[in-house]
Structure 1
Amino acid sequence: MGHLPKLIEDLALILIVAAITTILFRKIKQPLVLGYIIAGFLVGPHLSITPTVVDTTNIETLAEIGVIFLLFSLGLEFSFKKLVRVGGAASITGLIGIVFITVSGYLVGQWMGWSLMDSLFLGGMLASSSTTIIIKAFDELGVKTKQYAQVVFGVLVVEDIVVILLMVLLSTLAITNQFEGTEMLFTVGKLLFFLLLWFIAGIFLLPTFLRKAKSLLDDETLLILAIGLCLGMVIVARQSGFSAELGAFIMGSILAETTKAEKIEHLVKPVKDLFGAVFFVSVGMLIDPVAIMENRWAILWVTLLILFGRFFSSTMGALLSGQPLKQSIQVGMSLAQIGEFAFIVASLGLALGVTSNFLFPVAVGASVITTFTTPYRIQYSEKLYELIVRFLPEKWVNNLSNYASSTQNIQAETSWKKVFKSYLNIAVTNGIVLVALMLLSINFLLPFINRSITNPVISGIIVLVISFGISAPFLWALMAKRPDNMDYKELWLDYKYSKGPLLVLEISRVILGLLLIGFWVSRLFSATVAILIALPLIIIVLRLFSQRIQKFYQRLEKRFLSNLNAREIAAEEDSHSEKILRQHFKPESELAPWQAHIVDLQVNPNADYTGKTLEELAWREKYGVNIAYIKRGDKLIYAPSRFKKLLPFDHVGLIATDEQMLVFKPVFDSTETENTDIPDYDVEDIIVQKIVVNEYNKLKGLTVRDSGIREKTNGLIIGIERKNERILNPNSFTVFEWGDIVWIVGERKKIQKLNEV
C-alpha cells in the first residue's frame, strides 16, 4: 500500500478526537453521546480551526452501519416477551405520551412554517425518551427501587418498539408520498405481519440450530454468525419494502430469546460501540453554528415542547392508567427529554432526502438542554407534587386517588380474560403462518410448477396438495385446538356462562378457517370449484386424519415453546428459587392499588438484627412492611414464619410503599452476627388472590394470627379491604369483619381450599 486511503486518515481523526471528548465528558459525568456529537462538530466542515474529515461519503456509509448495529443491540436487550411483561400501566402511559407528543411536534412544526415532512419527522424525533440518560440519572439519585421507576422502565420498552414502527411508517411515507388512511392501515398491517412472521420463524429455527451447533461455536464463530444473521435480515427487510433498521432490530429481538443472547450481546458490544461512535460523530459533523443561531427560536420552542409536553402527556397517561397522582408526576418528570433515537430519526430523514438540514441542529440543541435538566427534574419531582397538591382542590385529589384505586382493582372475570387471550394466541400465531404459506404457494410455488406443467388444472392440484399438506397442522390448530389450561376447563363446566361466549369463539374461528381455505383455493381454481369441491374435501381430510395432524402439531408446538422459553429453562437448571421468583411470584401489578411494590434488599453482614426472629424484630407492626421471602444462596424461604431468622447476605423481599421504605430503609441498613441453619422449602404455583370473609370460611371475629391463614395457605396476608378503607400489611392482631376482602400471597390450591364450602 503506497499511500494511506483518506478513509483511514479520517477514521484515525474521528476516533482520536472522540476518545478525548468522551474522556472529558466521563470526567464531568455527562452522557458520552453528547461527547461524540461535540467530537463530530470539532472535525466537521463547519469549524475551520481544527482538522476536518475529507471523505464524508465513506463516513456516511460507516454511520449507516452504526445505526444497524445500534438497532441490533437494542433488539438483543429488548425481547418481545419483555414487552408482554410490561403491563397495562406502562403500555397506556407510553402510548398516550407518544401519540400526544408526536401530534404536538407535527403541529408545532406546521406553526413554525416547516414543510410537511419536516413536521412529521419532528414528531417522530420527540416520540422517545433516552433510556441511557434516565437509567444513569436513576442510578446516581438512588431511586431505582422506587415504585414509579418500574413504570418508567416499562414505558421506555414501549417507546423503543413504537419508535421502530414510526421509523418504518415515516420511511414509507417519504418514499411513496401516500398519506391516505387505507394506505397507512395497510402499511401497519403489513408491518405487524412481517414482525410476527419472522419472530415465529426465527424462534422455531434459530435456537434449535444454536443448540445443535453449540460445540462448534467459539466466540469468533458466534460473533461472525450473529453479524451475518443481522445483515441477512437487513437485506430481507429491504427486499420486503422496510428499512434496514427494522431488519436489524427484528434479528436482535429473535436472538434475545435464545440462551446465547447475553454472549452475543457481549461479543457485539465492541463492534456496536465502534460503529455507533462513528454514527454519533457523523451527527455532530452536521452541526452548523450559523444554522443553530438562525434556528435558535425553533430550538427554544422544541425544548419547551419536550419539557412541558412530554411531562404533561406522560403524567396524564400515568393518571389514566390508574397510577396515583404523586407517582404520575414522578413518571412525567423522568421522561421529559429526548436522546439517541432523535438523532437516528433525523438522520433517516436526511438519508431519504425528505427533510431540511436545520432539523439536526434543532434535535441536538433540544437534546443537550433536556439531557442536562434530567437529574434535577427527577430530584425535584416530589416537591413539584407537593406544590401541585397545595393548589389543587381537595376534592380533585380525592377523586384522583379513588380513580387510581378503582382502575387497578383486579376484575372478577380474570379466568375469562386468560381464556380469551389463549384463543387470541392460537388464532394469531397459526393465522400468520397460514397466510405466509398461502403467499409462498401462490407467488412462488405455483409459478415454479407452471414452468414444468402447462395444464393449469393439474398444476393447481399439485400446488393444492403440497401447500395444504404442509399447512394441515396449522389449519387444525386454528379451527380445533383448545386452550390447554385449567381456566378454560373451569369456564366450560361453569353453568353461569351457559357455554355461550365459548361457543361463539369456537364457531368464529371455524368460520375464519373456512374463509381462509376458500380464499386460498379460489386463487388456484374458480370460486365455484373452491366452494363445491375443494373445501369439502379439505374438511373431510382434516377430520379423518385429525389425530395424526394433532400429534404432529403438538410436536411442532412443543419445539417452539421449548425454544421460546430456552432462557427460562436454562435458568431453572441453574437456580430453582430464581425460577420461582421470576415465573410465579409476580404480585407487583396486583399490589398497584395499594401503592406498594416488592423491594429486594441484601442483609448487611454487620447488621445488628441478624440472628433475631421476625417475631422479635416485629417490622410489620412497627413499620408496616411485610417480608414476602428470604433468599439464601440458591434456596428460597417463601412466606417465612415469625420464627425464622435473618442471616448475613440473605436477600429479603419486602412488600412496602415508597413512604414506608423511606422510614424503614435506615433501620434495615443499620449495622453483629450469628449463624444458624434454617430449613428451607420449595413453593409451586404462587399467586396473589383475594377471599371474602363470609359464613363459609368463618374468619369473622378472628385475628390475623388466630385465623391460621399463614399455615393453611403457606402464604401471608398483604392487605385487607374494608368498605372504603385499605389496610396494607395488617398486623397480627387485626380482627376480621364481615365482608372484608382479604388479599393473600400463597399457593393457589391451598387458597382455593380455604374458599371451599
Structure 2
Amino acid sequence: MGHLPKLIEDLALILIAGAATTLLFRKIKQPLVLGYIIAGLLVGPHISITPSVVDSANIKTFAEIGVIFLLFSLGLEFSFKKLVRVGGAASITAFVEIIVITILGYFVGKWMGWSTMDSLFLGGMLASSSTTIIIRAFDELGIKTKRYARIVFGVLVVEDIVVILLMVLLSTVAITKQFEGSEMMFTVVKLLFFLVLWFITGIFLLPTFLRKVKPLLDEETLLILSIGLCLSMVVIATQVGFSAELGAFIMGSILAETTSAEKVEHLFKPVKDLFGAVFFVSVGMMIEPATIVEYRWPVLWVTVLALFGKLISTTLGALLSGQPLKQSVQVGMSMAQIGEFAFIIATLGLTLGVTSDFLFPVAVGASAITTFTTPYMIKYSEALHNGIVKVMPDRWVRGLNNYASSTQNIRAESNWKLLLKSYGSIAVTNGIVILALMLVSINFLMPFLNEAIENTVLRALLVLVLSLGLATPFLWALMAKRPNTLAYKELWLDKKYNRGPLLILEIARNLLGILIISVWVDRLFSTDVAILVAVPIIIVVLVVFSKRIQGFYQRIEGRFITNLNARDIALEASEDKLVRDLKSKFKPEEDISPWIAHIVDMEVSQHAAYVGKTLAQLGWRETYGINVAYIKRGDKVIYAPGRDQIILPFDRLGVIASDEQMQQFKPVFDSLQEVANGTHSIEDIVLLTIVVDEFNRLKDLSIRNSGIREQTNGLVVGIERDGKRILNPEPDTVFHWGDVVWIVGERKKIQQLNAIKQTHNLA
C-alpha cells in the first residue's frame, strides 16, 4: 500500500469540514467566514471528539498563501482610481473613524492591563469593517439603492487601503520595537515612496506587456501569469522590508488598471476561495474555547467598543464630511462590526511573536457577536435617528443640516489650488522616479561595475552617464514641464498679482533639480567636482537638447496615461454615446438636483411580473413618483424613453428617485411572476421520426390540421418522401402514405404517437 502524506489527509479533513459548515451557514443565512472558523475549531487540537489536523506546519504555510491570495484578490477589486473616485465625503468619514477607533482601541487595551503591542494590534483590528457582512445585510434588507449605502461602500474602499498601510506600520513597530515619531515618519515616507514607485513602474510596463502577448494568452496561461506576478511582487516587497500582504495587494491593484482585470478576477476566484478557506479554517484551529471563556470580559468590552465606538466615530466623520444627520447615523450604524481583516492582523501579531495568545480568540469572539448584530443595527438606524432628533435641541439639528447643505454647495476649486495640485503631481511622480534611479545606480550598478572596471574615476563616470542618461527626461520634467491646465494660463495673464508667485515656483523647482543632481554627483565624486564640473555640464545638456528630451518624455508620459486609462477607454468604447452623455449629466454617486433624489441603475429580471408591458401601462411615475431616465438594452440605449416603450427581460433601467420613493418602488420592481416548477429539461427535447400509416391516421392531413404541434409540443422539421427530403415544410404541406416525418418535441409525447401503432398491432 502506497504511503499517503499527512498533508493530504489534513487537507481532506479541512475541506470536508469547511464544506459542511458552509452548507449549514448558507442554510441559516450567516457569513461563510464564521462557518470556516467553526470548522477550524472542530478540526483543531482543542476539540477531542472530532478528528484533528496533524501536519499543522504545512497547513500554516497554506494559510499564509491564503492571506497572500486574499490580499491579491482585494487589490484586483480595489483600483487606485476607485479610491480617487470615492470622493471627499467617504474619505473624511473613513479617516476620522479609523483614527478615533484605533486610538480608542489602544487605550481600552491599556485600561484592561494589556501590553503596548497587544493594545496597538487591538486598535488595528478595530480599524476595518466587514465588506462581506455589510453587503449581505444590505441585500437582505433591500437598501443597497439608498443614498447612504454609497457612502458606506466608499468608506469600505478607503478602509481597505488604510488598513493595509496599518499592517505595514504594525509590522515595522513589531520588528524594530521602536515607537519614536522620527522612526514612524521614516517608515511612512518609505512606504509611500515604494507605493508610488511600484504603481508608476507597474502601470508603465504591465499593461503594455499584456497587450503585446494577448494573442498568446488563454485562460490557463493568464491565470498562471497572474499568480506568478503576484508572488514575484510578494518577494520584492519582503526584500525591501515590507510585508508579503502589501506586495500581493500592490500587484492586484496594478492588474486592476488593465483591460484584463475582470478576466483575471474571474479566473482567480476559485484559487482565492480554496486558499482563503484554508486560511480561515486555520484561524479557527488557533481558537481555544477555554481561553474565550476565561477572557469573556475582554470579549464583552471589545464588542461594546466595536459597536458603540465605531458607531460614534463613523457618525462623527460623516457629519464632518457634510452629510445630513440622518444619513450620518445610518452610515455609523452600518459600520459597527469587526471585519475579516481583524483575523489577518491578529494572525500577523502571532506570526511575529509580539502579541499574546488571548488576543486572537478575543477578536474572533467579538467579531462573531458583531456579525449577528449588524443587520439589526442597520434596520433600526432610522429609529435611532428619530430618537436623537427628539432629545437634541432644535437649533442643533438645524445647525447640522445647514452645515451639510453648505458643504454640498462647495463645488468649485480655485485656480491656485488646481495649479498647486498639478505642480505637486509633477514633482512627486518625477522626483520618485529620479530617486529610484539614483538608488539603483549607487546600490546596484556601482557594485556590479566594481568587479569589471578597476579605474575608480572611469567607473564612477560610467555610472553617472548611464544613470543620468536614464533620468534626463524626468529631470527635465521636474525642472521645466509646464502644468497643462487652463488655470496656469489664466494666472500667468494676471501680471499684477500672479506673475511673481509663479516665477518663485519655477525658480524653486529648478533649484530642487539642481540640488538632486548635486547630491547624485557627490555620491560618486567629490563635492568640488559636483559643483564646478558635473552640474554645469548637465544643465547645459538639458538646455541644449530640451526639445528632444521633451519629445521623449511626452512619449513616456503618453504611454503611461494610455495604460492608466486603458480599462476606462475600453469600457467607454463598448457603451453607446447616449450612455456617456447621460453619465456626464447624471452620476449615480452624486445628487442630480436640489431634491434628495439620485439615479439608480437596476436590472430587469427575466421573470419580472411587468415584462412585456409599456411604461404607460405600468404607471410607475404616476403611482410612485419615480422617473425612468434610460433603458439600456444590450448595446442600445433608449434615452428618456416614451410612454409606449416596452420593458423586456435583462433591460437596465436608470431610475431617478428619492430614498423614500425607492423604498416603495423596489418591491414592485423586484416582483416576479409565478413560474410553474416544470420537471422537463433540455434533455427531454429530442428529434424523432414517425411513419405515416393507417394507425396514426395522418394521411391526407396537412401539418396545420394534424394536431402534431398540440400533441407533441413540437415542430415538424422535415419529411422524407420517395427518397427525397423536404426541409422545414410549410404548414399547408399534406402528409402522404409512407412519409417519414421528423419531429422536434417532447420525447414522451412523440413516443405516444408511435405507441398508437404498437397498440393497434397488439390488438
Question: What is the match of residue 231 of structure 1?
Answer: 231
Report how many residues are paired. Answer: 667
Q: 2:536 corresponds to which residue?
A: 536
Q: CA deviation at 1:413?
A: 3.3
Counterpart Cα distance in 2 of 1:283 and 1:294: 19
Structure 2 distance, partners of 1:666, 1:279, is 39
Q: Within 2, Cα distance between the matches of 1:122 and 1:13?
A: 32
Contact between 2:148 and 2:330, CA under 8 Å: does it hold in 1? yes
| Aligned partner of residue 452 in structure 1, secondary structure | coil
Distance between the aligned counterparts of 1:8 and 1:443, measured in 2? 45
Does residue 606 (structure 1) correspond to residue 610 (structure 2)? The answer is: yes
**Is contact 1:21–1:36 with CA below 8 Å preserved after alignment?**
yes
Greater CA drift, 647-656 or 97-106: 647-656
Aligned pairs for 1:589-600 within 5 A: 589=590, 595-600=596-601
* Alpha-carbon distance between aligned partners in 2 of 1:390 and 1:608, rounded to the nearest angstrom: 47
Secondary structure of the structure 2 residue equivalent to 1:454 = coil
What code does the residue aligned with 2:614 have? Answer: T
SS in 2 for 1:45: coil
Structure 2 counterpart of 1:376? 376
SS of 1:653 mapped into structure 2: strand
Q: Quick one: distance in 2 between partners of 1:523 and 1:299? A: 55
Q: Which residue matches 1:15?
A: 15
* Structure 2 Cα separation of the partners of residues 581 and 182 of structure 1: 50
Alignment of 1:83-482 (within 5 A): 83-482=83-482
CA contact (8 A) 1:607 1:669 kept: no
Q: Deviations over 1:377-436 (max 9, x none)?
A: 111111111111011100000000011111222244355433332222222211111110
Q: Equivalent residue for 1:700?
A: none
Cα drift, residue 254 of structure 1: 0.8
Partner of 1:213, secondary structure, is helix
How far is 1:669 from its partner?
8.0
Residues 399, 466 of structure 1: CA spacing in aligned structure 2 closer, same or farther, 3 A cutoff? same
Kindly name which structure, 1 or 2, has the bigger radius of gyration based on alpha carbons: 2
SS at match of 2:654: strand
Q: Deviations over 1:568-606 (max 9, x none)?
A: 122223223455556775474465986443222457783
TM value normalised by structure 1: 0.83
User: 1 CA distance for matches of 2:670 and 2:64?
Assistant: 49
Query: Structure 2 matches for 1:628-707, cutoff 5 A?
Result: 629=630, 631=632, 633-636=634-637, 640=640, 646-649=645-648, 651-662=652-663
Contact 1:609 1:617 in 2 (8 A): no
DSSP-derived class of the 1:178 partner: coil
Residue 88 of structure 1: CA displacement? 0.5
Return closer, same or farther for 1:297/1:573 CA change in 2, 3 Å cut-off: same
Contact 1:517 1:535 in 2 (8 A): yes
Greater shift, 506-515 or 159-168, is seen at: 506-515
Equivalent residue for 2:43? 43
Structure 2: state its 5+ residue gaps: 673-763
**Distance change (3 Å), C-alpha of 1:31 and 1:665:** closer
Tell me if the contact between 2:339 and 2:367 (Cα under 8 Å) persists in the aligned partners.
Answer: yes
Q: CA deviation at 1:8?
A: 1.0
What does the per-residue CA deviation read over 1:719-752, in whole Å, with 9 as the maximum and x for residues that have no partner?
xxxxxxxxxxxxxxxxxxxxxxxxxxxxxxxxxx
Matches within 5 A, 1:526-565: 526-565=526-565
Q: Cα offset for 1:347? A: 0.4
Q: Does residue 31 of the first structure (1) align with residue 23 of the second (2)?
A: no
Distance 1:582 1:496 in 2: 40
Shift of 1:459: 2.1
- State the distance in 1 between where 2:227 and 2:20 align: 29
Shift of 1:263: 1.2
User: Paired residue for 1:677?
Assistant: none
User: How far apart, CA to CA, are the structure 1 residues paired with 2:366 and 2:388?
Assistant: 26
Report the residue type matching 1:398 in the other structure: R
Q: Deviations over 1:500-546 (max 9, x none)?
A: 55444333322322222222122122223222322222111111111
Change (3 A) 1:464 1:173: same
Give the deviation of 1:479 after TM superposition: 1.6
Structure 1 gaps of 5+ residues are 672-757
Give the Cα–Cα distance (whole angstroms) in 2 for the partners of residues 609 and 16 of structure 1: 48
Alpha-carbon distance between aligned partners in 1 of 2:194 and 2:272, rounded to the nearest angstrom: 25
> Could you tell me how far 1:264 is from its partner in structure 2?
1.1
| SS of 2:510 mapped into structure 1 | helix
Give CA-to-partner distance per residue, 1:317-353, whole Å, 9 cap, x none.
0000000000000000000001210000000001111
Q: 1:482 to 1:389 in 2, by over 3 A?
A: same
For 1:257 and 1:189, the matched residues in 2 are separated by 24
Alpha carbons of 1:447 and 1:548: their partners in 2 closer, same or farther (altered >3 Å)?
same
Contact 1:404 1:593 in 2 (8 A): no
Which is further off, 199-208 or 303-312? 199-208
Q: Give the Cα–Cα distance (whole angstroms) in 2 for the partners of residues 401 and 62 of structure 1.
A: 51
- What is the one-letter code of the residue matched to 2:658? T
**SS at structure 1 position matched to 2:127:** coil
Equivalent-residue separation in structure 1 for 2:646 and 2:420 (angstroms): 45
Indicate the SS of the match to 1:523: helix
AA aligned to 2:659 is D
